[in-house]
Amino acid sequence: MKKFINDVDNILVESLAGFGRAHADLVEVSLDPMFVRRREPTRPGKVALISGGGSGHEPLHAGFVGHGMLDAACPGHVFTSPTPDQMIAAAAAVSGGAGTLWIVKNYAGDVMNFEMAAEMAEGESASVLVVDDVAVEDSSFTTGRRGVAGTMIVEKITGAAAEAGADLSALKALGDDVVARTRSMGVAFTSCLVPAAGSPTFTLEHDEMEMGVGIHGEPGRRREKLAPARAIAEQMTGAILQDLAPAKGQEVLLHVNGFGGTPLMELYLMFEQASAILADRGLKVARSLVGNYTTSLEMAGCSVTVTALDARLTELWDAPVHTPALRAGR
């Protein structure tokens, strides 16, 4: 197993320690229980936004802790849900006395543990469940649709609104609205390799790809022969638009997300394909994001995410953000 590790059981602790050290100006890492929080104390009266999930998707979620986005993130072991004690400790650490918004990707373990934490943690809370993956209904670890790269869009937009003073019920409604406006689909060229497993999660022939893959290597819609970038983009974008059914002239955010093992120049090439397809359908790509934001360890592949914007969402997307992995504005 070709990985930069010392001991497979310590990967997460050693990686989080490095993350905390590299970004000590922005975040603070608690190792027991494990969570990452903003260094600055939460402003009294601000709703705390907390997300989390299995590790291996970096920079999601810890890379999005900071001004204008999350207050805390709870990392589980690789592809394993974090536990309620992590979430409860994180919520206590970043409470501003105005409640907690949990942002949860739709995987059975995450959903169950965040629900338990919500029941046990102090204070009021609400949850936004992210279900943006149009590839399949139900999957290896999920009832209903999976939550994938659209999650960071939910985190960015609700994070901006929380910073601006929105209350818990407004943030819950806003988060649900972003989820309702967001669809994703991914494709894999290679498997990822979970350190504790020591071997690839699945295998693909040299001329095959997994269309509709999940971010843990879960099966997608079907295994297909490799195709040109334009055809791949058409398939993913087509599935998204069929489901989202945006009106002509709709402004959208287009996010091409790398799974970790695909060169950036190919991601920009895919962005160009997806952009052209959206334009052909009469949509306007008003905002864009290209890069490795929701990864699947070293998996080669990418996903396309489309969010139907309105003036308010665009303004919140543009609002200042200052996190390890995303910075914009002043």
**Which residues are identified as catalytic?**
57, 216
Q: Are 210 and 202 in contact (CB under 8 A)?
A: yes
Q: Is 330 in the site for a copy of itself (CB under 8 A)?
A: yes
CA distance 283 to 40: 40
Q: Which residues pair with 30 in a beta bridge?
A: 35
Q: Is 228 in the site for a copy of itself (CB under 8 A)?
A: yes
CA distance 43 to 21: 24
Give residue 75's identity as a one-letter amino acid code: P
Which position among 119, 264, 280, 282 is part of the footprint of a copy of itself (CB under 8 A)? 264
SS3 label, residue 232: helix
Which position among 14, 40, 119, 122 is part of the footprint of a copy of itself (CB under 8 A)? 14
**183-192 burial, b for 16+ CB within 10 Å, e for fewer?**
bbbbbbbbbb
Which position among 197, 235, 263, 284 is part of the footprint of a copy of itself (CB under 8 A)? 263
Q: Is 249 in the site for a copy of itself (CB under 8 A)?
A: no
Q: Could you tell me the two tokens for 167?
A: 């209350």
CA distance 12 to 5: 10
Which position among 12, 70, 153, 157 is part of the footprint of a copy of itself (CB under 8 A)? 12
CA distance 101 to 163: 13
Which span sits near a copy of itself by CB under 8 A: 12-20, 66-74, 140-148, 245-253? 12-20
CB of 5 to a copy of itself, least distance (A): 6
Which position among 295, 303, 305, 307 is part of the footprint of a copy of itself (CB under 8 A)? 295
Q: How far is CA 25 from CA 296, 320, 324, in A?
A: 27, 17, 10
CB of 329 to a copy of itself, least distance (A): 9
Q: Are 211 and 246 in contact (CB under 8 A)?
A: no
Nearer Cβ to a copy of itself (43/327): 327
Q: What share of the chain is helix, strand, coil (3-state, %, to 5)?
A: 35, 25, 40
Q: Could you tell me the two tokens for 66?
A: 């900071």
Which position among 275, 281, 314, 315 is part of the footprint of a copy of itself (CB under 8 A)? 275
- In the chain, the N- to C-terminal Cα span, in Å, equals 42
Which position among 48, 90, 302, 304 is part of the footprint of a copy of itself (CB under 8 A)? 302
Q: Is 288 in the site for a copy of itself (CB under 8 A)?
A: yes
CB of 275 to a copy of itself, least distance (A): 6
Q: Could you tell me the two tokens for 307?
A: 């969010």
SS3 label, residue 18: helix
Q: Is 272 in the site for a copy of itself (CB under 8 A)?
A: yes
How many residues contact a copy of itself, by CB under 8 A?
60
Which position among 32, 44, 248, 265 is part of the footprint of a copy of itself (CB under 8 A)? 265
Q: Is 120 in the site for a copy of itself (CB under 8 A)?
A: no
Residues that bind a copy of itself (CB under 8 A): 2-7, 11-12, 14-19, 21-23, 55-56, 58-59, 63, 78, 189-190, 206, 209, 226, 228-230, 232, 260-273, 275, 285, 288-290, 292, 295, 297-298, 300, 302, 327-328, 330
